[in-house]
DNA sequence: GGCGATCTGTTCTAATACAA
DNA sequence: TTGTATTAGAACAGATCGCC
C-alpha cells in the first residue's frame, strides 16, 4: 500500500498536479505494474482499496474519488457529513426564501468545502472573494470602488449542478472562465478549432487544477432558493451589487474583463495567436 | 451488471449591439 | 424603429463513472 501512495505522490509531483481521480490513478499504477486495473470496470481495484480506507488522505467529491498528495491539506467533507449538512442547509435555505426586499441578498457566506450541502434546487448563487487584493491590481481597485467583496452572481435551475460547473470546471462555467482569465491563465492555442461552439474555451488540465485550488482557498459562497422568476431576481441583484465578473445585466460591466475573454476566445480559435 | 449520479459537449434563450 | 448578428450564460442529453 505504501508503494501505491508513494507512486501516486511521485506522479502528482512530477506532473505538477494537486490531485488525481481513481480511474486515472489506477491506470498509471497498472502501467507501472503496481496494481492491475479492471478491463471492463476501469479503476475498480483502486476504488475497492479506497472504500476500505487504505488511502486515508483520499476523499470523495460527490461520487468521485479524489486522491491528493499524501501531505496535502485539501479535504472535503465526507458523505455522511455532507448528507446531514445537506438536510440542514435545505432547511436553512428554505427559511431564506422569505425575501422582503428583492434587491438585497440575505447571505451568510461559507467556504467552498460546503459545496456538498448545496441542494439540487433552483435559486440564485453568490460568490465573494475573501480578500480583494488577491486579484490583479486593476480588478482589486474596481472591486474596492464597489464597496463589497461580491464578484459574481448567477442563477440556476439546479444550484448543486451549476456550482459544480462553475467552481470545479465540470462543464462550461462562465465564472470559471472569467476568473481564470483575470488570474492570467489562457486556454491552449487552437483548443476550440475542432469544436462546434467557438466560445466555450477551456484551460489546460494543469491550469484548471491550479484555478480550482485558488477558488477553494480564496472564494466563499452562499445561495438562496427561489421558486419563481429567477431572471427577475438575478437581474435585481446584479444591478444592485454590480459584481466584478458579471457582464450580462451589469451596469458596471468591465471592459477589461470583456477584452480578456475575447483574447482567450481568440487564442482557443487560433494556432498562431501572438499576445500584444 | 443494473441503476442512478455525474460529466462533458452541444444547444438553446435572452439580452445587447449594430446596421439599415 | 426594426431586423439581424453576436454574446453571455443556463440547460439538455448522451456518455461515463461508481456503488451495491
- What pLDDT score does A193 carry? 64
Write out residues whose CB is closer than 7 A to strand B: A 40-41, 61-64, 120, 160, 164-165, 168-172, 195-197, 200, 202, 231, 248-249
Chain B nucleotides covered by protein, CB below 7 Å:
1, 4-12, 14-16
pLDDT single digits (tens) A130-162: 888 888 888 888 888 778 888 888 777 667 767
Distance (Å, rounded) from C-alpha A191 to C-alpha A205?
A: 12
Q: What is the pLDDT of residue A60?
A: 62
Å from the A233 CA to the B19 C1': 33
CA of A191 to C1' of C4 (A): 29
Residue that has been written with the C-alpha cell 506522479 in this structure: A11
**String of DSSP letters for chain A:** -HHHHHHHHHHHHHTT-SEEEHHHHHHHHHHTTSSPPPSSSTTHHHHHHHHTTSSTT-EEETTEEEEE-TT-------HHHHHHHHHHHHHHHHHTT--SSTTS-----EEGGGGGGS-SS-EEEEEEES-GGGS-HHHHHHHHHHTS-EEEEEEESSHHHHHHHHHH-SS--HHHHHHHHHTT--PPTTTTTT-S-SS-----HHHHHHHHHHHHHHEEEEEEE--S-HHHHHHHHHHHH--TT--TT-TT--HHHHHHHHHHHHHHT-SS----
Query: pLDDT tens-digit profile of A87-132?
Result: 333 333 333 333 334 455 656 777 776 666 666 666 777 888 888 8
Contact A126, A105 (CB under 8 A): yes
Residues of chain A short of pLDDT 50, as ranges, are 73-102, 276
Summary mean pLDDT of chain A: 69
pLDDT at residue A150, as a whole number: 84
**CB of A157 closer than 8 Å to CB of A165:** no
Measure A266 CA to C6 C1' (Å): 15
Amino acid at each position: 500500500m505504501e508503494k501505491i501512495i508513494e507512486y501516486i505522490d511521485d506522479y502528482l509531483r512530477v506532473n505538477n498536479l494537486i490531485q488525481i481521480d481513481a480511474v486515472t490513478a489506477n491506470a498509471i499504477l497498472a502501467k507501472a505494474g503496481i496494481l492491475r486495473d479492471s478491463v471492463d470496470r476501469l479503476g475498480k481495484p483502486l476504488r475497492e482499496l479506497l472504500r476500505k480506507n487504505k488511502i486515508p488522505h483520499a476523499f470523495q467529491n460527490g461520487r468521485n474519488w479524489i486522491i491528493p498528495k499524501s501531505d496535502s491539506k485539501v479535504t472535503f467533507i465526507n458523505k455522511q457529513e455532507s448528507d446531514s449538512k445537506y438536510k440542514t442547509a435545505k432547511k436553512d435555505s428554505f427559511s431564506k426564501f422569505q425575501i422582503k426586499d428583492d434587491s438585497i441578498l440575505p447571505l451568510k457566506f461559507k467556504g467552498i468545502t460546503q459545496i456538498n450541502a448545496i441542494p439540487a434546487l433552483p435559486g440564485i448563487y453568490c460568490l465573494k472573494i475573501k480578500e480583494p487584493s488577491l486579484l490583479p491590481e486593476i480588478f482589486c481597485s474596481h472591486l474596492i470602488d464597489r464597496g463589497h467583496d461580491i464578484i459574481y452572481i448567477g442563477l440556476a435551475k439546479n444550484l448543486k449542478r451549476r456550482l459544480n460547473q462553475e467552481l470545479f470546471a465540470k462543464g462550461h462555467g462562465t465564472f470559471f472562465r472569467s476568473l481564470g482569465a483575470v488570474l492570467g491563465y489562457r486556454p491552449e492555442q487552437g483548443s476550440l478549432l475542432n469544436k462546434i461552439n467557438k466560445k466555450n474555451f477551456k484551460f489546460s488540465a494543469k491550469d484548471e487544477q491550479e484555478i480550482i485550488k485558488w477558488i477553494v482557498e480564496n472564494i466563499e459562497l452562499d445561495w438562496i432558493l427561489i421558486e419563481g422568476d429567477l431572471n427577475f431576481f438575478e437581474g435585481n441583484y446584479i444591478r444592485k451589487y454590480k459584481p466584478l465578473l458579471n457582464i450580462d445585466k451589469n451596469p458596471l460591466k468591465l471592459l477589461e474583463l470583456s477584452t480578456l475573454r475575447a483574447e482567450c476566445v481568440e487564442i482557443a480559435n487560433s494556432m498562431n495567436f501572438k499576445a500584444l
